[in-house]
Chains A and B, each alone.
Chain A
Amino acid sequence: MGLALLLIIWLITFLSSYFFVAHTWWPHAISASAPYIDHQWHLTFIAMGVVFIAAQVALGFVVWRYRDHGDAAKASYSHGNNKLELTWTVLTAILFLGLNAIGSPIWAAERFHSADTSAMKVEVTGLQFAWYFRYPGPDNKFGRTRPELEDASLGGLSALGVDSADPAAKDDVVSGVLFLPVNREVDLTLRAQDVIHSFFVPAMRFKQDAVPGLMIHMHFRPEQTGDYEIACAELCGLGHYKMHGIMRVVSEQDFEKWLAAREADKQ
């Protein structure tokens, strides 16, 4: 049984580790901050991977090596060793808290600063079960919304209840696809109209809950053009699994063209 256990544990360890590295599981990363996050992941992955393999291999070895042979000899009598105890306490503390220290600046860079003043404003609204994106237009101001004007069945401006009486709302554009210009910082405002949703763009390594009662400001910068999917990552009800959208990153000129066309549609 000792040998069988060793083989099972080692095989599980080998296969688990193999499939971690045999395939690139992460989606292709396109945001400015993604390399830092991915780097921290890799660092943690190497540290934890080494510990994982070492611990499991040791476990397999120990159960096989120290199996009961049925002889009369007694096991070794020891209640422990304080020096060893202290050693591995210190070592694991250095490992875990060290990783924490290395990773913290990345989080700070992500979340402690607000967006550049030059950043492009987009408002992201989650509602059961769709994402809507609002652009402030040339005046760079979002018009006011009124809950009583909301009508999800009409989509667009009506889904958000944008009040057309507000002058700031005149040039607001609402889209079901998140159009973004490449290489420009985006100032996101996340809000929700009914329940909590979570705005998750795997390619951007970005996620943030959209919470009723909060207007959450976030920023990111896409660095490659293309279509990328947005998913909802917080349970929001029946249609949670189909609450998704597209983030379309295009060149600056294409973006201006698109926005102008949308403005023109409104007139």
Chain B
Amino acid sequence: MATLTPTLTVKQPKSRHGGGGDIPHYPGGGGGGGGRGDESPDYGERLRRCRLGLAVGIAPIVMLFVAFSSAYLVRQGLASWDLRTNSYINDWAPLRMPMLLLVINTCLLLLSSLTMEFARRYAARLAAIAPITAMPGIAADDESSFPWLGITVALGLGFLAGQVLAWRQMEARGLFLSSNPSSSFFYLLTGMHALHLLGGVIALSYAVVTVWLKRPPEARHIVVDVTAWYWHFMALLWLYIFALLIVAH
């Protein structure tokens, strides 16, 4: 995508909206340290900055789940002295998950990652031709395009609904949050992931709405692009969590 940016020239007022709020317009930029010699206008720079911000922002989420994972593994292997039995006990009961449902959910999420990628590329294309479509008399056929974003949101909501269903099934089996440390961690990990994914759904819904808000395609591209990377990260994170729950059950 980076190859697109230097060729773009965008009228300034357009490029100053959207993204993660208002980003300062600042030509030039970093010196030798960054090694970027580009004199690209606002929009390409903003895209890169938002991507960088996202990459940095993913770090604390990773740390959060690293902390949960290490707590998971420690708690699983832990024997603590129980004053009732006068002995060291390990009360970890192997986790029984609704596997079929979770596999279906996983497929939904992976599929949504795919549609998200299509949406991202489509938004990039629209942004690339934006300088042309901005000319009077030329219109891009926005409406006839396939609604990849809407489908992604739907699939994301489907995944969340599936997760809620999985929790219901766990409860039906008598495995509640406080039943056993293994079920506590199941709800914790899946819940925290769902919460983060919900953030992505909200961002995507905003991107969908921008179509009606008549935001310039470049601004929309930034929202879609950054959310897409976040979405892919969420899919990866889910695969990791699912693998952890299966391998170390």
The answer to whether A and B touch in the complex, with CB atoms under 8 Å apart, is: yes
B86 at the interface (CB under 8 A from A): yes
B214 at the interface (CB under 8 A from A): no
* B247 nearest CB across to chain A (Å): 26
Cβ of A215 and Cβ of B81 under 8 Å apart?
yes
A146 interface neighbour in B80, B84, B88, Cβ under 8 Å: B84
Cβ of A147 and Cβ of B81 under 8 Å apart?
no
- Which are the 3 A-B pairs with shortest beta-carbon distances? A213-B80, A144-B86, A215-B81
For residues 43 through 68 of chain A, which have their beta carbon under 8 Å from a beta carbon of chain B? none
For residues 160 through 200 of chain A, which have their beta carbon under 8 Å from a beta carbon of chain B? 161, 191, 193
Using Cβ atoms and an 8 Å threshold, which residues of chain B touch A40? none
- The size of the chain B interface, using a CB distance under 8 A, is 7
* A215 nearest CB across to chain B (Å): 5
Using Cβ atoms and an 8 Å threshold, which residues of chain A touch B213? none
* A150 nearest CB across to chain B (Å): 9
Using Cβ atoms and an 8 Å threshold, which residues of chain A touch B88? 215
- Known: A144-B86, A193-B83; 7 extra A-B contacts, CB below 8 A, are A146-B84, A147-B83, A147-B84, A191-B81, A213-B80, A213-B81, A214-B81
A145 at the interface (CB under 8 A from B): yes
In which size bucket is the chain A interface? 10 to 19
* B85 nearest CB across to chain A (Å): 9
For residues 205 through 230 of chain A, which have their beta carbon under 8 Å from a beta carbon of chain B? 212-215
Which secondary structure dominates chain A's binding surface? loop
A147 to B81, CA, bound (A): 13
* Residues of A bordering B, CB below 8 Å: 144-147, 161, 191, 193, 212-215
Using Cβ atoms and an 8 Å threshold, which residues of chain B touch A193? 83
Question: Mask for B61-94, Cβ within 8 A of A = 1, else 0?
Answer: 0000000000000000000111110101000000
| CB closest residue in chain B, given A193 | B83
B86 interface neighbour in A145, A212, A213, A214, Cβ under 8 Å: A145
A267 to B86, CA, bound (A): 25
| CB closest residue in chain B, given A163 | B86
Using Cβ atoms and an 8 Å threshold, which residues of chain B touch A146? 84
Using Cβ atoms and an 8 Å threshold, which residues of chain B touch A147? 83-84
* A90 nearest CB across to chain B (Å): 30
A161 to B81, CA, bound (A): 16
* B198 nearest CB across to chain A (Å): 35
A-B CB contact pairs (8 Å), 18 listed: A144-B86, A145-B83, A145-B86, A146-B84, A147-B83, A147-B84, A161-B83, A191-B81, A191-B83, A193-B83, A212-B81, A213-B80, A213-B81, A213-B82, A214-B80, A214-B81, A215-B81, A215-B88
| CB closest residue in chain B, given A166 | B86
Using Cβ atoms and an 8 Å threshold, which residues of chain B touch A212? 81
